[in-house]
């Protein structure tokens, strides 16, 4: 799968689901619940225990899902994630060594940045998308201001995104949104109510769809 085709898949629903939990025990079930809600692009963070094994098993059990590794902080972790089956990499900061490994293996990279200089630096270095983080602090207006002079850069806000504000970020110029803690509700997981995750995924997909149409 080429980088272009991989990233096209992330644009279908406009939502990348982030799975960051304290145990890998329920990872596959969580991924399945999110997929049933319409998410075809998921990210398992590397600071989740057993992340590499989880990536391998999820790729095997849910081949229809585009699966990436998030919170990739160095080149070694990047290579390990790719060898485990990660189809894209996500960083929280401008990590050019991670981007270099991604290019070497032909894997898309979404590089994290905050300031206009960081965003442009990541893009000029070859990032496929730029993750604007932390979106919970910056807000949709900040994204709109960045998108004005830099419309060529595909921006993906991350942090504090919910079904209520996802549309605001899309209308501000985001090509997609990354959603984690609101989507993967820890209380619902503890209680075994994975249908909550499925419903939240549906709400997000619908919110993004409506924002794109408007």
Helices (H) and strands (E) in the chain, counts: 10, 8
Catalytic-role residue among 12, 43, 56, 206: 43
Catalytic-role residue among 8, 60, 131, 141: 131
Burial string for 102-134 (b: 16+ CB within 10 Å, else e) reads beeeebbbbbbbbeeebbbbbbeeebbbbbbbe
CB 79 within 8 Å of CB 97: no
Active site residue 43: yes
Got the DSSP string for 185-211?
A: -HHHHHTT-THHHHHHHHHHHHHHHHH
**Cα distances (angstroms) measured from residue 73 to each of 33, 88, 97, 119, 125:** 28, 14, 9, 17, 17
Alpha carbons 188 and 178: distance in angstroms, whole number:
20
Alpha carbons 99 and 127: distance in angstroms, whole number:
7
Active site residue 141: no
Return the H-helix or E-strand segment holding 122.
helix 116-124
Residues labelled catalytic: 43, 131
């Amino acid at each position: 799968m080429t980088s272009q085709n991989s990233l096209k898949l992330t644009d279908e629903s406009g939502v990348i689901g982030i799975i960051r939990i304290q145990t890998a025990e329920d990872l596959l079930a969580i991924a399945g619940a999110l997929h049933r809600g319409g998410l075809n692009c998921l990210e398992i963070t590397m600071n989740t225990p057993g992340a590499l094994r989880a990536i391998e098993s999820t790729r095997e059990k849910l081949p229809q899902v585009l699966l990436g590794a998030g919170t990739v902080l160095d080149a070694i972790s990047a290579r390990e994630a790719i060898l485990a089956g990660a189809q894209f990499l996500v960083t929280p900061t401008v990590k050019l060594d991670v981007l270099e490994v991604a290019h070497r293996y032909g894997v898309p990279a979404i590089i994290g940045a905050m300031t206009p200089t960081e965003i442009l630096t990541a893009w000029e270095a070859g990032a496929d998308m730029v993750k604007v983080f932390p979106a919970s602090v910056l807000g949709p207006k900040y994204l709109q201001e960045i998108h004005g002079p830099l419309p060529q850069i595909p921006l993906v806000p991350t942090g504090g995104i919910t079904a209520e504000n996802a549309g605001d970020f899309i209308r501000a110029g985001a090509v997609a949104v990354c959603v984690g803690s609101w989507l993967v509700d820890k209380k619902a997981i503890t209680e075994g109510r994975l249908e909550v995750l499925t419903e939240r995924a549906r709400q997000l997909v619908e919110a993004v769809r409506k924002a794109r149409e408007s």
